[in-house]
């Protein structure tokens, strides 16, 4: 059963009382007041914008397409809890119109000759491999400062995020630009973070949620009586991903060499050009000229642009093997994933590597 929805007005009043204290705790370190201030302000604005989806659907004065999309989203939301055994709460049973294409913009940064992300640590979420901003201009400002320090930097817009169960997360207007299936996958992904989250291990958390999203979507399509996803498109996506992950491996090998900076810089650029060449050969010889990834591949390249692929995709195969090992039982899968998450970090990584090779 779903928990009864508390008064949003009451919840807002409570949060207005609590957030200054939370901000004080967050600032009990070296982080800037302005950065944490925008985090608190942005989260409060999002919470105040929420309204029950049932009310939106029932209102004939609201946009008909929005009502239809939200109706379909609630079917996926129910499926998530009843079939995927994800948390059954008020998250994604609320809607928030934020009037912008992304809810936050994440800034990723790495040293010039490293794929190790610059981590940022928070009391609740632990350490993550990015810094989030509710304003695109603020994200660009942070990126500029990082570049001045010689870092490789990338900015990525985010459609949704999870507060890990601390608040009832809404479906946000930024999630509505895709089709119904993409909206369902976002719900599965974000609820997975509520189901299991390991502090200080972005790679584990995102790969886990990505697997739940992918397998959940496969089961969702079957539940709806739809054909499996186009095998050709799946294969092309996997081939593209393997190109990126292989490039990461090449760079990791390169950065371990004792080379002068100029030579390292030259070989780094050559590695990225090889990626572009391999992609174009694959596209033109095997993909019948499918150009869907051209914009990404032709944009300026650096280490930071590769970070999301390593974080979100590197360990997905390991979780897929784990899911098969428990016979596709979601409850057993989550229990097994929790055991992995409880291991010391090096043991956890080693266990995931073994799974991926199984």
Average pLDDT of every residue of the chain: 89
pLDDT confidence of residue 16: 39
- Cα distances from 139 to residues 124, 261, 307, in angstroms, run 22, 28, 17
Domain membership of residue 114 (yes or no) is: no
- SS3 state at 28: coil
Name the domain count of the chain.
2
Give the C-alpha separation, 181 to 168, whole Å: 22
**Do residue 257 and residue 183 come from a single domain?**
no
89 and 211 assigned to the same domain: yes
Q: Which domain holds residue 86?
A: 51-103+159-223
- Written as one string, the DSSP assignment of 9-23 is HHHHHHHHHHHHHHH
Predicted confidence at residue 157, as pLDDT, reads 94
CB 115 within 8 A of CB 170: no
Residues 84 and 179 reside in one and the same domain = yes
Strand order in the sheet with 104-110: 131-133, 104-110, 152-158
Do both 173 and 296 map to the same domain?
no
Question: Do the strands 120-122 and 104-110 form a parallel or antiparallel pair, or are they unpaired?
Answer: unpaired
Whether residue 177 sits in one domain with residue 89: yes
Give tens-digit pLDDT for 340-357. Answer: 999 999 999 999 999 998
Expressed in angstroms, the distance from the first to the final Cα of the chain is 38
pLDDT for the residue numbered 112: 98
Whole-number Å distance between alpha carbons of 140 and 125: 23
How far is residue 332 from each of residues 35, 86, 98, 328, 354, measured CA to CA in Å? 40, 13, 38, 8, 19
- 200 and 257 share a domain? no
Provide the pLDDT for residue 107: 96
Domain check: are 196 and 59 in the same one?
yes
Last residue of a domain, one of 169, 190, 223: 223
Same domain, 302 and 318: yes
Residue 141 is assigned to a structural domain of this protein: no
- Does residue 154 lie within any of the structural domains? no
Question: 205 and 314: one domain?
Answer: no
Q: Per-residue pLDDT for the chain (358 aa), expressed as one digit of tens each?
A: 333 344 444 444 444 344 444 444 444 444 567 888 888 889 999 999 999 999 999 999 999 999 999 999 999 999 999 999 999 999 999 999 999 999 999 999 999 999 999 988 776 677 888 899 999 999 999 999 999 999 999 999 999 888 888 889 999 999 998 889 999 999 999 999 999 999 888 889 999 999 999 999 999 999 999 988 888 888 999 999 999 999 999 999 999 999 999 999 999 999 999 999 999 999 999 999 899 999 999 999 999 999 888 666 778 999 999 999 999 999 999 999 999 999 999 999 999 999 998 8
Structure tokens, 318? 């390991």
Residues 53/42, Cβ–Cβ less than 8 Å:
no
**What does the pLDDT read at residue 104?**
96
304-307 own/partner pairs: CB under 8 Å, 24+ apart: 304/108, 304/109, 304/110, 304/117, 304/151, 304/152, 304/153, 304/154, 305/108, 305/152, 305/154, 306/115, 306/244, 306/247, 306/248, 306/251, 307/108, 307/110, 307/115, 307/117, 307/129, 307/130, 307/154
pTM of the model: 0.85
Q: What is the pLDDT of residues 259-300, one digit of tens each?
A: 999 999 999 999 999 999 999 999 999 999 899 999 999 999
């Amino acid at each position: 059963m779903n928990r009864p929805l508390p008064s949003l007005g009451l919840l807002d009043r409570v949060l207005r009382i609590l957030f200054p204290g939370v901000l004080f705790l967050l600032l009990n370190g070296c982080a800037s007041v302005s950065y944490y201030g925008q985090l608190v302000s942005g989260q409060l604005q999002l919470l105040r914008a929420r309204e029950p989806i049932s009310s939106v659907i029932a209102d004939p004065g609201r946009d008909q397409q929005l009502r239809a999309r939200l109706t379909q989203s609630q079917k996926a939301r129910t499926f998530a809890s009843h079939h995927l055994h994800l948390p059954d709460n008020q998250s994604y049973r609320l809607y928030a119109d934020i009037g912008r294409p992304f809810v936050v913009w994440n800034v990723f940064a790495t040293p010039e000759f490293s794929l190790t992300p610059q981590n940022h640590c928070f009391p609740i979420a632990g350490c993550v491999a990015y810094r989030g901003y509710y304003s695109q201009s603020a994200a660009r400002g942070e990126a500029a400062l990082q570049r001045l320090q010689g870092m490789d930097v990338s900015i990525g817009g985010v459609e949704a995020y999870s507060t890990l169960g601390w608040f009832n997360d809404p479906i946000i207007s930024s999630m509505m630009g895709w089709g119904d299936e993409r909206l369902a996958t976002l719900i599965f992904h974000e609820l997975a973070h509520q189901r299991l989250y390991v502090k200080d291990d972005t790679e584990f958390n995102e790969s886990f949620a990505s697997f739940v999203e992918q397998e959940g979507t496969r089961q969702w399509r079957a539940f709806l009586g739809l054909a499996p996803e186009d095998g050709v498109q799946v294969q092309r996506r996997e081939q593209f991903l393997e190109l990126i992950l292989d490039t990461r491996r090449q760079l990791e090998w390169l950065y371990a060499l004792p080379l002068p900076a100029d030579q390292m810089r030259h070989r780094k650029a050559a590695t990225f050009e090889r990626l572009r060449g391999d992609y174009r050969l694959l596209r033109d010889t095997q993909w019948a000229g499918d150009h869907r990834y051209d914009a990404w591949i032709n944009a300026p390249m650096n280490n930071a642009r590769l970070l999301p692929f390593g974080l979100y995709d590197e360990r997905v195969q390991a979780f897929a093997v784990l899911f098969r090992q428990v016979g596709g039982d979601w409850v057993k899968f989550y229990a097994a994933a929790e055991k992995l998450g409880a291991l010391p970090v090096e043991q956890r990584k080693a266990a995931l590597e073994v799974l991926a090779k199984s």
